[in-house]
Structure 1
Amino acid sequence: GCLISEYPPDIPITRYTFPVRNRIISALALGTVVIEAGIRSGALITANHAIEQGKDVFVVPGNPNVTEYKGSNALLRDGAKPLLDAGDIFSEYISRFSDKIDIEKAFKKEPKPVTPQKNKKILNETLSNEAKIVYNCIDTQKFYPDELECGLDSNKLLSALTELEMEFFIRALPGGQYEICK
C-alpha cells in the first residue's frame, strides 16, 4: 500500500481537503470516470483537475432534464468521452497497452455469484480477522457497507471490504453497493 498526502498526519479531514486529494488521485490515474455530477458537484473539480493534467475524462451520459446530471452532461458537451460500458475504456487504451490487455479475458463471462449462507466460514487463512468478521456478517447477496452490523469502526470495515474485494470474495457495484462472489 501507499499513502500520499500534501497534509501532515494531524490535519483533520474537511470538505476543503477533498479537492486537493482528488487532484493527486487524478494525477496518478490514466483517466477519470464521472458517473453522476450536478453543476456544483465535487466530481467536477476532480474532472477539471484531470483535464488540466492532460488526462482522459470519461462520463456516463445522464438524462438532460435531471439536475444531478447537469454537470456530467456539461463535461460531455465540452469534450469528455462518453462512457456507455467498459468497452469504451478498453478501446481507448488497447493500442497503448496491447501487450498488457487480454481482450478475451477482459470480456469473458463472469462466474455467477453464489447465494451466501448464514454462519459460513472462510477457509482462506491469509485474510485478516476483520475481513473474516465482515464476510461472516454478510447475509444477503447484495449489500451496502452501512447495512453490516459487525462491530467494526468505519475505517476497519472499509479496509476489510477492500481486502475481501482484492481476494474476490466480494465485488463493488455501482452506487456503493457490494455483491458476494464466493
Structure 2
Amino acid sequence: NERSGSLRTVNHAIEQGRDIFAVPGDITSSMNMGTNKLLREGAKPVFNAMDVLEEYAERFPDLLDIDKIETTLKTEAQRSKSAPKKAQPFEKPIVSQKISDKARLVCDAFNKEIMQADELILSTGLSAVEFMSAMTELELLGVIEPLAGKNYKIITQIG
C-alpha cells in the first residue's frame, strides 16, 4: 500500500539520502509487495545482520571490526545453545570505544539489562530523532539489541 507508514518512512529516508535495506519476502504473498518493490527499486537486500554490518564496515572501519563482530556472534550463539544459567545481577557493560556523546548518554541510562525506549528517552532527555540515531549507532556497534515491544537489551562490552 503506497500510503503505509512504512513506505512513507522509506520515502522520507530516500529524500534524506539514507540507505534503504529490505528483507526479501515471498513473491506470491501480497503482504510482501511493498518490500519486494523496494528491492526492485534498489534497496539493499538483507538476509542477516552481517549483510547490514558489512555494508557499513568499509565506510566506518574505525567503528566496525567485522572479524570481531563475527567472533562475538559465534560466541553468543554457542552460549545460547548451552544449558540455561541462573539469573545473575545486572552489570552495566563498560563502553570505552569512541562513540558519540548521545550514544554514551543512552548507555549510561541503562539501569537494567532490558529497558523500554520510552524509559530511555525520558531518562536521557533526547528527542526521538536523537535517541534513534544513538540507538542505531549502538546497535551497529553490537552494544544493544532491539527486542519486541520497543524494548532494548544492552548486550556487550566494548573495549
Aligned residues: 119
TM-score by length of 1: 0.47
Q: How is 1:100-139 mapped onto 2 (pairs within 5 angstroms)?
A: 100-108=63-71, 109-111=74-76, 112-113=79-80, 115=84, 117=86, 120=87, 122=89, 124=91, 128=111, 131=112
Quickly say closer, same or farther: Cα 1:52–1:105, change in 2 above 3 A. same
Residue deviations 1:115-159, cap 9 Å, x none? 365xx462648964xx38x79xxxxxxxxx9xxxxxxxx955998
Quickly say closer, same or farther: Cα 1:61–1:177, change in 2 above 3 A. farther
Aligned partner of 1:95 in structure 2 is 58
Greater per-residue helix proportion: 2
Task: Give the deviation of 1:91 after TM superposition.
Answer: 2.7
Q: How is 1:155-174 mapped onto 2 (pairs within 5 angstroms)?
A: 155-156=118-119, 171-173=145-147
Letter in 1 for 2:89: I
Aligned partner of 2:25 in structure 1 is 62
User: Structure 2, unaligned stretches of length 5 or more?
Assistant: 93-107, 124-137
Please say which structure displays the higher CA radius of gyration: 1
TM-score by length of 2: 0.52
Quickly say closer, same or farther: Cα 1:59–1:102, change in 2 above 3 A. same
Q: Is the 2:54–2:66 contact (alpha carbons within 8 Å) kept by the matching residues of 1?
A: no
Q: Identity across aligned pairs (percent)?
A: 37
Q: Supply the RMSD in Å over aligned alpha carbons.
A: 4.3
Residue deviations 1:76-108, cap 9 Å, x none? 111111111223223322222123221111111
User: Structure 1, unaligned stretches of length 5 or more?
Assistant: 1-37, 136-144, 146-153, 161-165
Q: Is the 2:14–2:20 contact (alpha carbons within 8 Å) kept by the matching residues of 1?
A: yes
Which structure has more RCO (C-alpha within 8 Å, separation ≥ 6)? Answer: 2
